[in-house]
A and B are shown apart, each in its own frame.
Chain A
């Protein structure tokens, strides 16, 4: 297999021309988001350039500390995103989310890198991209799970009150909400597993093949990462909601989000 063709900078710059098409469609349909398009394009470019520079430096000067700090930043950012999309919940619930997301994410990363791949947990070339995928998916899944839980809880306040008033325990009232939200959070991952390889080749596999990896190896990685992603979403959402719902009632069995 041939190594990947290095993109020339001037050729690369041509890709930005495609944005003109988006711009034209936006103008035609009177979508007033041209500013957002500009900001998004610039931010994406800058963020990726910075990430690229940092990763180049870390790969050339591998040090366990760099890997740890990078993964810690990723985890913190993921937690922050989940919580900022679910501001209404109580502080203990937020702690439950932070603990579940980081513990389940990190355990899966360690298992993946050390056991499945068989690399050192401090090898940045493996740990950083894999953590990115694991944490990113855990973040999306948990955001969706907690949001579903919160919204169905608020929407069904009259059901909750009616059941409390006839002497049903908060556990029995809230657990169906937990189960339903967990199912909702798992569905996107399961659905993407069903379509995988037919319509789309997933990003990681495409990237590996472009850089010269044999499809056989790329497929093994992709299968492993999909299963890891499914597990981490399941664990993180389950942990967040299962620990979280217990923060919603007090010793007098009154329920509050």
Chain B
């Protein structure tokens, strides 16, 4: 098994401790478990927006603490539960995010490609303020996916979607990621989705630290 991320003896603020976890390269790993068991925190520890109290995480065999955190986040991109879009059109949003990343703007054709992958076939001129929560969520994933990270981490990406859209969304994302060698990590409450789309499932339990 080719491991891209692995977790050993990990502990966060003595509140959450994690079992040994290994994430397989270019596969879709789903993380399941009840609220408060540390799913979102685990993703934040992976991209170093939070720091562990004890234990280690390795990425491609290197301790993540030894890597440059900005470069790491470009490779391991987290799409958090709280969606942020700028006021303005979808196109404006792509451009703003690309400006922040100091990248040349994406072509309209490419924007459409990523939107369509995320089941968000809206006109590029659509104002983001007027879109629903679920629509905004998909546009946000599309922008993050377009950066083509090595690892894409989605935190409850389909929480605001109906079942059939959620299935289409995951079908597209999963195939796109495996075609383009992107490792996918997904947090989902939906056991049905996990059973259909996951290559591996990590079950976290509420464990008190010792």
List residues of chain A with CB under 8 Å of any chain B CB. 158-159, 161-169, 172-173, 252-254
- Whether B73 and A162, one on each chain, are in contact in the complex, defined by CB atoms closer than 8 angstroms, is no
Of all chain A residues, the one with the shortest Cβ separation from B64 is A252
Q: Does B122 lie at the interface of the complex (its beta carbon under 8 Å from any beta carbon of A)? A: no
The 8 closest A-B pairs by CB, nearest first: A167-B74, A167-B73, A162-B84, A165-B78, A253-B69, A158-B82, A158-B84, A168-B100
Asked if residues B101 and A253 are in contact (CB atoms below 8 Å), the reply is: no
Given that A166-B77, A167-B73, A168-B100 are known contacts, is A254 also in contact with B82, CB under 8 Å in the complex? no
B80 at the interface (CB under 8 A from A): yes
Whether B51 contacts A254 by the Cβ 8 Å rule is yes
29 residue pairs bridging A and B, Cβ less than 8 Å apart: A159-B84, A161-B49, A161-B82, A162-B80, A162-B83, A162-B84, A162-B140, A164-B73, A165-B49, A165-B73, A165-B78, A165-B79, A165-B144, A166-B77, A166-B100, A166-B147, A167-B70, A167-B72, A167-B73, A167-B101, A168-B70, A252-B48, A252-B51, A252-B69, A253-B48, A253-B73, A254-B48, A254-B49, A254-B50
Contacts A166-B74, A166-B100 supplied; 9 other A-B pairs, CB < 8 Å: A161-B49, A162-B83, A162-B140, A164-B73, A165-B78, A165-B80, A167-B74, A168-B100, A252-B69
Which residues of B in the span 131-157 have a Cβ within 8 Å of any Cβ on A? 140, 144, 147
> CA of A227 to CA of B4 in the docked complex: distance in angstroms?
60
B47 at the interface (CB under 8 A from A): yes
Are B50 and A169 within 8 A (Cβ)? no
Q: Does B12 have its Cβ within 8 Å of any Cβ on chain A?
A: no
Residues of B within 8 A of A253 (CB): 48, 69-70, 73
- Cross-chain contact A164 with B49 (CB below 8 angstroms): yes
Category for how many chain B residues contact A = 20 to 34
Residues on the A chain within 8 Å of B83, using CB: 158, 162
What A residues does B80 contact at CB under 8 A?
Answer: 161-162, 165
**B84, A161: Cβ atoms closer than 8 Å:** yes
A189 to chain B, nearest CB (A): 29
Closest to B51 in A: A252
A162 to B101 CA separation, bound complex (whole angstroms): 12
Complex CA distance for A165 and B147, rounded to whole angstroms: 12
Query: Closest CB of chain B to A155's CB: distance in Å?
Result: 12
Whether B97 sits at the interface, judged by CB under 8 Å, is yes
B162 at the binding interface (Cβ < 8 Å): no
B153 to A, closest residue via Cβ: A165
Closest to A253 in B: B69
Q: Which residues of chain A are near B48, meaning CB under 8 Å?
A: 252-254
Report Cα–Cα, A20/B15, bound state, in Å.
Answer: 61
B125 lies within 8 A of chain A by Cβ: no
Complex CA–CA separation, A161 to B100 (angstroms): 13
* Complex CA–CA separation, A254 to B82 (angstroms): 17
Chain A residue with the shortest CB-CB distance to B69: A253
Nearest Cβ on chain B to A162's Cβ, whole angstroms: 4
B71 within 8 A of A: yes
- In the complex, the chain B residue whose C-beta lies closest to that of A159 is B84
Q: How far is the CA of A172 from the CA of B102 in the complex (A)?
A: 10
A169 CA / B69 CA spacing, docked (Å): 9
Per-residue A-contact encoding for B109-142, CB less than 8 Å = 1, 0 else: 0000000000000000000000000000000100
A119 → chain B closest CB, angstroms: 51
Q: Roughly how many angstroms separate A169 CA and B101 CA in the complex, as a whole number?
A: 9
Q: Who on chain B is nearest to A166 by CB?
A: B77
Q: A253-B48, A254-B48 are in contact. Are A163 and B70 (CB under 8 A)?
A: no
Contact partners of B100 in chain A: CB under 8 A = 163, 166, 168, 172-173
Chain B min CB distance to A154 (Å): 14
Which residue on chain B has the smallest CB distance to residue A176?
B100
Q: Mark B85-112, 1 if CB is under 8 A from A, else 0.
A: 0000000000001001100000000000
With a cutoff of 8 Å between Cβ atoms, the chain A residues found around residue B140 in the complex are 162
Contact A169 B84 (CB under 8 A): no
Distance, CA A253 to CA B73, complexed state (A): 10
Q: How far is the CA of A166 from the CA of B153 in the complex (A)?
A: 11
Give Cα distance in the complex from A168 to B143, angstroms.
14
- CA separation between A121 and B97, bound complex, in Å? 52
- A166 and B84 within 8 A (CB): no
- The smallest C-beta distance from B198 to any residue of chain A, in angstroms, reads 22
Residues of B contacting A163 in the complex (Cβ-Cβ under 8 angstroms):
84, 100
